A and B are shown apart, each in its own frame.
Chain A
Amino acid sequence: MILLLLACAQDESALEDMLRAGSSLEECEEVSVGQLRTLCYVEVAGAAGSHNDDATANAACAAIPDGVWRQECHFRAGEELGKAGQTDRALRHCVQAGEFAPNCLTHTFWGLPLGLDLDASNPATVNAAMDEFLVTVDTALLDADPMLRMEARDGLLSRAWFNLYVGTGQANPVAAKGAPVDQAPYARTAWAMEAARVHPEPTVDALRQAWNEDQILTGLTQTHQARVGQHARPLFPHVHHDVQAIFIFGGGRRLVSPELDLDLLIAILEGLFYSERSPELWSGYIGHDDFAVRQTAIKNTVLVGGDVTTEDPLDQEIVRAAKKERRSAIRRNRPPRPLPGPPP
């Protein structure tokens, strides 16, 4: 009996070592318990990602059997590389993150390096940098599922243009006007967000005038952390496939019009929403002839607490969706989101 008790009380240090393992690939290889070995590799991949050690992160994830933990491993590595601004490497991991790929992409968008020292008054430089950036992105996403590739491009373009304008204290429309067609809606949105933020009396007409007259609106810059504005979750029903929509960095989606003037108007209506809360800013457009303009105006009016009455079934649909989002935001105690704090 004593022998048995002694055996049972055997030193458990082997178990403890396996439970703690996670400092290197070699340490993981020594772990004989499958589940603990897997978790060890996940931990190694995350740490390697945060040190820009892509080779170790890849080796760690490859050592895990296919399934949830391999996906999690790539997510961990991707988000860490993304946080470190290693966008292309991060994307390569996100592509392999399976179900977690959208989360991984979101973290990569967040981590996209600021500004790249670009000057918004020089469209040629901006376009060259954006093109180079997109080549990197497309190469990294070569093996990605087409839907994921589209989502990644959408989010990254939204983030890249956001970085160029928002919080910089300068809204110069020249770069947005010079953006290639496929980037122009993102560029207009970002310009409008910053223009609305720095304009002393932002209205649709004032921002449209600034755009048309190439006015360089200036104001206070914001720290990276303060670049958070009012936003809502995506509300436009997915049934209207004929209307294109793009991500707005920070939250939500906006509708896009193929006509420049209308798209500028939509961008301005969304740009105003980033920093303004007065329903009157949008209420003049809730009866607009264009579907996308009207829906944007209705959405934002309702989201800031304004009333909209309409007979149109599709307009009623967006009213209901916006009211639900507003109630939900208030329940989450985020009506809809805190405005940026005072700039430094």
Chain B
Amino acid sequence: MGAADSVVALILLACSEPQSFEECSTVADAVERSDCQYRFANEAGDPKPLLDGMTRDLERDVLIIRLAESDPARAGALCNEVRTDSGRRRCESVLGRPHLGTWGMEKPKHGKAP
């Protein structure tokens, strides 16, 4: 493959729809890249391996926060993985509240006293 072919291949890769989580890294726009990562990670049963492969902390934390928002019951575990101050702050102020982990579960009547 010549140099020209390589450039064409790269351009095609950059312009086509990513087919895997890893290919999301070719998306230029940071927000669109995050959307792409979220799409694949949200479908993955366990996003941990995907998160472990990410090198940019901020991008990784944005993905973690988005996943936690989508599934508050997992927020506690996901928040343990954040690395940036912004991610930590969001986890502490909103996502880390324990009752969110029980949303959707049947609660005992009068289980809580005033």
Residues of A within 8 A of B (CB): 1, 4, 7-8, 10-12, 14-16, 18-20, 22, 32-33, 35-36, 38-39, 42-43, 46, 68-69, 71-72, 75, 99-100, 102-103, 105-106, 109-110, 151, 155, 158-159, 231, 233-234, 238, 247-253
Query: What are 12 A-B contacts with C-beta separation under 8 Å?
Result: A8-B26, A10-B30, A12-B56, A15-B58, A19-B58, A19-B86, A33-B34, A36-B66, A46-B93, A72-B97, A100-B103, A231-B113
Number of interface residues of B (CB under 8 A): 42
Residues of B within 8 A of A (CB): 10, 14, 25-26, 28-31, 33-35, 38, 56, 58-59, 61-62, 65-66, 69-70, 72, 84, 86-87, 89-90, 93-95, 97, 99-100, 103-104, 107, 109-114
Whether the pair A238, B109 counts as a contact (CB closer than 8 A) is: yes
Query: Given the interface contacts A14-B30, A35-B66, does A19 sit within 8 Å of B87 by beta carbon?
Result: yes
Number of A-B residue pairs, CB cutoff 8 Å, is 117
Query: Given the interface contacts A36-B62, A39-B95, does A15 sit within 8 Å of B31 by beta carbon?
Result: yes
Whether the pair B28, A10 counts as a contact (CB closer than 8 A) is: yes
Whether the pair B65, A158 counts as a contact (CB closer than 8 A) is: no
Q: Give A22's nearest chain B residue, CB to CB.
A: B93
Whether the pair B114, A247 counts as a contact (CB closer than 8 A) is: yes
Among A20, A102, A247, contact of B86 (Cβ-Cβ < 8 Å): A20
Write out the residue numbers on chain B whose beta carbons fall within 8 Å of the beta carbon of A238: 109-110
Instruction: Give complex CA distance A248, B113 in Å.
Output: 8
Whether the pair A39, B90 counts as a contact (CB closer than 8 A) is: yes
Instruction: Give complex CA distance A155, B110 in Å.
Output: 11
Chain A min CB distance to B24 (Å): 10
Among A36, A68, A109, contact of B72 (Cβ-Cβ < 8 Å): A68
Whether the pair A103, B62 counts as a contact (CB closer than 8 A) is: no
